[in-house]
Structure 1
């Protein structure tokens, strides 16, 4: 059973109407149009500079932040790919997780503010993410590199790892996927029932966001939906999902297909928890973050 705080937060999210962002295709298109008129900031919060060295470079048109622990060499390297349905920028919960990785795991965290859909489509975005991952592995050593993504960012992270596997065979030491969005067709038969209880996401808006990100590619192209990309030869994976998340079907399918391909998967399914719960200020989220920190520390020791 979820904790009292988790139940209260889910109720608050429902009451606040958070799922309105994905309630319809029109809502997503309105958000994209507003972002075109008034782009949201992806800048890190100022207080992060009190505990981390922060620099910014550009990879093509992508701003890429490099966040490292103050006054010490990083113990490991992380590429973190943020969520937001491919149409939302980095937000406070993402930066809070990054702060945890820097301060508790003593990790250098590389954070791309990738171009959002519809300007940023899978055919353009996945190769750049794969190049970033390749460069981080080369600079930090494969034993000390962890790839982390949440939601849409987890889909992009997995697609990048698959592309790198197909191109060179290189992999990070571990892939961590938080509430991953892996099949943009939203066609799993269980999603309707699960979606009715989801306080954050709704199928109609996700379908539209996925269409914008897919661009000219088909929904089952592995660059769009890495659930179709195969799992043999990938790094060991750790997956976090909650049963009140309409995307939990993607995590369950990943578990089934990855194990069928002989891939290693550590799987955490939290009963009654919503989408992205490891980023939330609840006991279950704290436990998930502690596990992620453990995984990064383990990678540093390899």
Structure 2
């Protein structure tokens, strides 16, 4: 059973109308139009400068932020790809996870502010993410690189790992996927029942966001929906999902397909938890973050 705090937070999310952002195609198009007129900031909070050395470079047109722990060399490096349905910039919970990885895992954390849909469509975005991942692995060795993504960022992260495997066979030491969105078609038959209890996401808006991200590609192209790509030869996967997340069907399908391909999967499905629960200030979220920190530390080696 979910903790009391988790139940209260889910109720608060529902009462606050969090689902309205993805309630309809029109809501998503309106959000994209507002962002085009007045882009949201992707600048990190100033408080991160008190716990990390912060720098910014560019990979192509992407601003890429680099956070290194103060007072010593980083133990490992993390490429973190943020969520937001491909149409939203980094938000406070994303930056809180970055802070956790820097301070508790003592990791160098690289965060791309990738171009959002529809300008940032999958055919353009996945190759750049693969280039960034490739460069990090080459600079530190696969044993010290962990790829982390949440929601849409998890889909982009997995697609980038698949692309890199096809190019060179290189992989990070581990891929961590938080509430991953892996199939933009939103066509799994179990989703309608789960959606009724989901306090955060709704299928109509997700379908539109996925359409914008797909651009000229088909929804089942692995660059758009990596659930339809091959899982053979990928790094070990760790997946977190909640039973009240309409996207949990993607995680369950990943578990099945990766198992058939012989790829290792550490799978966590938390009963009663909503989308993105590892980023939330609830006991279940803290336990998930503890495990992610442990995995990053393990990647650093003895």
What range is the shorter-chain TM-score in?
A: over 0.9
Q: Deviations over 1:54-111 (max 9, x none)?
A: 1001111100000110121000010000000000000000000000000000000000
Corresponding position of 2:143 = 143
Correspondences of 1:161-240 after superposition (within 5 Å)? 161-240=161-240
Does structure 1 residue 96 correspond to structure 2 residue 123?
Answer: no
Name the SS of the counterpart of 1:184 in structure 2: coil
Partner SS for 1:138:
helix
**Alpha-carbon deviations, 1:131-165, whole Å to 9, x = none?**
00000001111100000000000000000000000
Counterparts of 1:241 and 1:81, CA distance in 2: 17
Instruction: Give the Cα–Cα distance (whole angstroms) in 1 for the partners of residues 221 and 205 of structure 2.
Output: 20
What's the counterpart of residue 126 of structure 1?
126
* Structure 2 SS opposite 1:273: coil
2:115 corresponds in structure 1 to 115
Kindly state the Cα deviation for residue 230 of structure 1 after the two structures are TM-superposed.
1.0
- 2:27 maps to 1:22: no
Q: Name the CA distance, whole Å, in 2 between partners of 1:14 and 1:185.
A: 24
Within 5 Å, give how 1:22-101 maps onto structure 2.
22-101=22-101
CA distance in 2, matches of 1:220, 1:159: 12
1:196 shift after superposition: 0.6
| Aligned partner of residue 84 in structure 2, secondary structure | coil
Moved over 4 A (4+): none
| 2:289 paired with 1:286 | no
Say which SS state the counterpart of residue 272 (structure 1) adopts. coil
Distance 1:130 1:40 in 2: 25
Structure 1 distance, partners of 2:171, 2:12, is 40
TM-score by length of 1: 1.00
Residue ranges of structure 1 left out of the alignment (5+ in a row): none
Aligned residue-pair number: 302
CA distance in 1, matches of 2:277, 2:68: 25
d(CA) in 2 for partners of 1:72 and 1:215?
44
Distance of 2:274 and 2:51 partners within structure 1: 30
2:159 corresponds to: 159
Aligned-residue Cα RMSD (Å) equals 0.5
Q: How high is the TM-score relative to the length of structure 2?
A: 1.00
